[in-house]
Chain A
Amino acid sequence: MTEKTSTGFSVTEIRKQFPVLEREVNGRPLVYMDNGATTHKPKAMTDAITAYYETINSNVHRGVHHLSQLATDAFELTREKLRAHLNAEHSYEVIFTKGTTDSINTIASSFADFVNEGDEIIISTLEHHSNIVPWQMMCARKKATLKVIPMDDRGVLDLEAYASLLSPKTKLVAFNHISNALGIINPVKEMTKMAHEVGAAVLVDGAQSMPHLKVDVRDLDVDFYAISAHKMYGPTGIGALYGKEEWLNKLPPYQGGGEMIATVTFEETTYADLPHKFEAGTPHIEGVIAWAASIDWMNEIGLENITTYEAELLAYGTEALSSVEGLQLYGTGPEKSALFSFNIEGLHPYDVGTLLDQLGIAVRTGHHCTQPLMNRLDVPGTIRASLAVYNTKDEIDQLVAALNRVIPMLR
């Protein structure tokens, strides 16, 4: 299989860097289309994990010895790479967390100090449970109200309704950059500007955008941006929270212990400066250091190239899937990533997903941790094929052929 893209890079060469893509599932070549859940990892990243343990394994920020210094340097290098990747102003505005969910929970917990009874938090219909539940918990604690931006049948948020929800009572607006369930890309810059006009802070869940788009937090002007490494070809269990310096300095720490202190007495504790104030305990050192290899790997291909190629896959897949009898596609707004969320008329998504798996095709089925969105669409769940830069048009053809085989079986 050789596929060359209009951007000039070779998908065949890219695929060679992912040994897992060569494996078979149920006797058939793996077609992996569950990248919204997690992407596979390039060898550069897994080699970086091995190199860390074989050459510099040590705790960071504490040791006076040589290895600790090397590990600390590598650890902080990733922070700097992320700063550049996100175009943040300062590297200390990048806080390492366990992932997107942890990043959102950090803000939901710390920001509660700035929310009073009667205040409002706004989220959107498109949110993952990770960007719903922490705000519900915070609102319950602070007696604040949670409001929800509605969407149209294409999955596009209703910005007029959003404008009417905003008021001086709005303290924070939280929404995703790209919907994990539908692939819709939200107008982050415009929505952020609208929130700032009423004095509200903005948190963006960037879990799904980081592998697909160039994200510039300064251009978007967001206050907080939450990301996960494992959705951008990096290791699991590690993520980051970007926060504007001004906010991060104002917010109290989320957890206590370890390196997040300046001084501790039994009477009082003073906190360390950014970013350590928010990084209690020994971090996921291996994950942070190896994440840099994934960032380098993505930058080597070029984010613009990734975006362009995936747009080709989106156009090709949308056309190809439209030929499947009874297929209904969800998330048909004009701005979207290479993700196909669909159902087959009269069939349960789990049945379709199970049989696709038998044919070696890995898709996600179910509510995708977006139950309120599924309720809005009035479906129990969908079949989701979410693509990455290593996917090909040939694989989309295989998905279509597999659907055409399993649908008659289930009817």
Chain B
Amino acid sequence: MSESIAVISEEIVDEFDMFEDWMDKYDYIISLGKELPLIDEEYKVDDNLIKGCQSRVWLHAEFKDGTVQFTADSDAIITKGIIALMIRALSGQKPEDIINADLTFVDQIGLKEHLSPTRANGLVSMIKQMKFYALAFQSKTA
């Protein structure tokens, strides 16, 4: 069984606390982006593009064994790193947990305030889309 979203969020906050300088935090985000497993090419289509991102972001979701599995990709590496964080927190979780997740770590690590408004909007769209998938899977199984 995977860790809860709250536990993963805490882990992420602890990891970011280790860095004093925001350039170091970006370095870490970039390394996460480089490690992110890519979305299957067949899912890298316009229908999977998230609206609101200045760079292109593809998000795919599958429902397996009662949990939602997310994969994603972006043409920008920092965006990819941010997606990696979101996937780490939300992929493999039950739909209702995703829907109810408050994702306070986004604010706690200062991600939102350090992103330009266009990127912050993209982040908001990304979270919205992930929750939307969870809602869709939940209503299918209800």
Contacts and interface: CB of A to CB of B under 8 A. Distances in A.
| Real binding pair | yes
Interface of A: 26, 347-348, 350-351, 353-355, 357-359, 365-366, 380, 409-410
Nearest to B79: A350
Nearest to A357: B116
Residue with the highest number of chain B CB atoms closer than 10 Å, among A26, A351, A353: A351
Interface in B1-43: 22-23, 26-27, 30
B26 A358 contact: yes
B65 interface: no
B54 interface: yes
B75 A354 contact: no
A348 B75 contact: yes
List the 8 shortest-distance A-B pairs measured between CB atoms, nearest first: A348-B76, A350-B76, A350-B55, A351-B78, A351-B76, A351-B77, A354-B78, A348-B75
Interface string B107-129: 00000001110110000000000
Given A350-B79, A351-B77, A357-B116, A409 B26 contact: yes
Given A347-B77, A351-B79, 6 more contacts: A348-B75, A350-B119, A354-B78, A354-B115, A358-B26, A380-B55
Given A351-B78, A354-B119, A358-B22, A409 B55 contact: no
B22 A354 contact: no
Contacts of B114: 358
Interface of B: 22-23, 26-27, 30, 54-56, 75-79, 114-116, 118-119
Given A357-B116, A409-B27, A409-B30, A350 B54 contact: yes
A96 B58 CA distance: 44
Contacts of A357: 116
B115 to A, nearest CB: 8
Nearest to B55: A350
B71 to A, nearest CB: 20
Contacts of A380: 55-56, 75
Contacts of B77: 347-348, 351, 410
Contacts of A355: 23, 26, 78
17 contacts: A348-B77, A350-B55, A350-B76, A350-B78, A350-B79, A351-B30, A351-B79, A354-B26, A354-B78, A354-B115, A354-B119, A355-B23, A357-B116, A358-B26, A409-B26, A409-B27, A410-B77
A18 B75 CA distance: 37
A305 B120 CA distance: 41
Contact of A26 (B22, B79, B115): B22
A200 to B, nearest CB: 37
Contacts of A366: 54, 118
A354 B116 contact: yes
A347 B76 CA distance: 8
Contacts of B75: 348, 380
Given A350-B54, A350-B78, A354-B116, A410 B30 contact: yes
Nearest to B77: A351
A373 B109 CA distance: 38
Nearest to B122: A350
Contacts of B79: 350-351
Contacts of A354: 26, 78, 115-116, 119
A347 B119 CA distance: 17
A406 to B, nearest CB: 9
A350 B119 CA distance: 9
Nearest to B31: A409
A359 B114 CA distance: 12
A353 B78 CA distance: 11
A26 B118 CA distance: 18
Contacts of B118: 366
A353 B119 CA distance: 11
A61 B76 CA distance: 53
A358 to B, nearest CB: 6
A353 B54 CA distance: 12
Residue with the highest number of chain A CB atoms closer than 10 Å, among B27, B78, B79: B78
Residue with the highest number of chain A CB atoms closer than 10 Å, among B23, B75, B114, B119: B23
Contacts of A409: 23, 26-27, 30
A358 B30 CA distance: 14
A380 B114 CA distance: 23
Contacts of B76: 348, 350-351
A380 B79 CA distance: 15
Residue with the highest number of chain A CB atoms closer than 10 Å, among B26, B75, B119: B26
